[in-house]
Amino acid sequence: MKHLIISAILLVSLASCQNETKNQSNNSTQNNMEQTTEKSAIEKLLFDYRDALNTSDVNKVLPLYTNDGVFMPSNAPSAIGQDQIKGSYEFVFSQIQLNIEFFIDEIVVNGDYAFARTTSKGTTLIHANGETVAEENRELFVLQKTNGQWKISRYMFNKMK
C-alpha cells in the first residue's frame, strides 16, 4: 500500500512538473509571438517614416510622432511637440528632396517603449542648386506605444561620413 501511495504521489508530482514546463513553454512562445508582432509593427512605422521622407510629406510625418515627440536633426535645433516638428520638417522639405532606404539594425521592445537603431542610404537633391549628393546616416528612434499604436517619441540622426 505504501508503494502505491508513493507511486501516486510521484505521478502527481511528475504531472505537475510537466504542466509547469508546458506553461513556461507556452508563456515563452506567447512572449516570442508578441515580440514578433510588436517588432513588425515598429518596422512598418519605420518604413512609413521613410516613405514620408521620400515624398517630402509633412502630413504623413506628423501622425508618426507622439504629441510630445522630439525631432533632433544634425546641426539644427531640436523640435519639440507637433507644432515645432511640423515647422522643422516643412523647412527641411523646402530645402531638400530625399531618396533613401532604411536598414534596420536593431529593435528592442520593453512594454510600451522601444528603441530602434537604423542606418539610411541614398541621395539628397538640394533645391537651391539642383545638385544631387550622396546621403548616409545612422538613426536612433525612441518609440512609444500610445492608444495601441507605435509612434516616434524621440528621433535623432547624424552623418556616418
Q: Is residue 117 part of a domain?
A: yes
Instruction: Give the confidence band of 34 by pLDDT, cuts at 50, 70, 90.
Output: confident
CA 28 from chain centre, in angstroms, equals 22
Domain of 58: which CATH number? 3.10.450.50
**How many folded domains does the chain comprise?**
1
Q: What is the mean pLDDT of residues 91-112?
A: 96
Tens digit of pLDDT for each residue in 53-87?
999 999 999 999 999 999 999 889 999 999 999 99
Domain housing 90: 41-159
101 within some domain: yes
Torsion of CA 81, 86, 88, 91, to 10 degrees: -170
pLDDT of 47 over the 80 cut = yes
Q: Would 72 be classed as within a structural domain?
A: yes
- pTM score, two decimals? 0.80
The answer to whether residue 125 sits within a structural domain is yes
Q: Which residue has the cell 524621440?
A: 154
Instruction: Give residue 140's pLDDT band: very low, low, confident or very high (50, 70, 90).
Output: very high
- Whether 12 is in a domain gets the answer no
Q: Is the pLDDT of residue 98 over 80?
A: yes
Evaluate whether residue 149 is within a structural domain: yes
Residue 105 lies in a domain: yes
Cell numbers for 144: 512609444
pLDDT of residue 137: 96
